[in-house]
Structure 1
Amino acid sequence: MATIAEAQPQRMLKVEQAAARAQLGRTRMYELIKTGEIQSVKIGRSRRIPVEALDAYVARLVDEQCQAVA
């Protein structure tokens, strides 16, 4: 039987989780956060990436590449 937390989709990811989801390395993900290409939030000493921020980054990449080809 699933708990309430397991039944709800994750809204924020750890840096390592976001990197894995985007098929990037942990170091590259931290670089993207540092440059502001991916938004993140700090909760205490932990850094989290909203799923929407990761989706927005991917959408921007697709848009930029589509415009470069056109």
Structure 2
Amino acid sequence: MQEYAEEKFEDEFLTVGEVAKILKVDPTTVRRWIRQGSLEAVPLPLKDGGVRRRHRIRRSALNSLLLDQEK
């Protein structure tokens, strides 16, 4: 049961703002990491031909970024 809970937690999606709050950085920094490919994110579909692209970040991708920073 514990293992299932951990897997579910790892698959949780976070917003750019949530990641910024966790890391105590500006959301612009998180978006830059996504553009540079340092942080893997899933782009959400655009609504009505909108220009702004929104992303969601898997908690596992955030954990990978943090582990890479520790090395």
Q: TM-score, normalised by structure 2?
A: 0.70
Where does the alignment leave 5 or more consecutive residues of structure 1 unmatched?
Answer: 1-7, 64-70
Aligned pair count reads: 56
Aligned to 1:52: 60
* More strand as a share of residues: 1
User: Which 4+ runs in 1 deviate beyond 3 A?
Assistant: none
SS of residue matched to 1:38 = coil
Where does the alignment leave 5 or more consecutive residues of structure 2 unmatched?
Answer: 1-7, 47-53
The structure having more radius of gyration, on CA atoms, is 1
Aligned to 2:16: 15
Q: What letter corresponds to residue 25 of structure 2 in structure 1?
A: L
Name the CA distance, whole Å, in 2 between partners of 1:58 and 1:24. Answer: 13
The one of 53, 61, 70 aligned to 2:69:
61
Aligned to 1:29: 30
Superposition deviation, residue 43 in structure 1: 2.2
Name the CA distance, whole Å, in 2 between partners of 1:57 and 1:48. Answer: 15
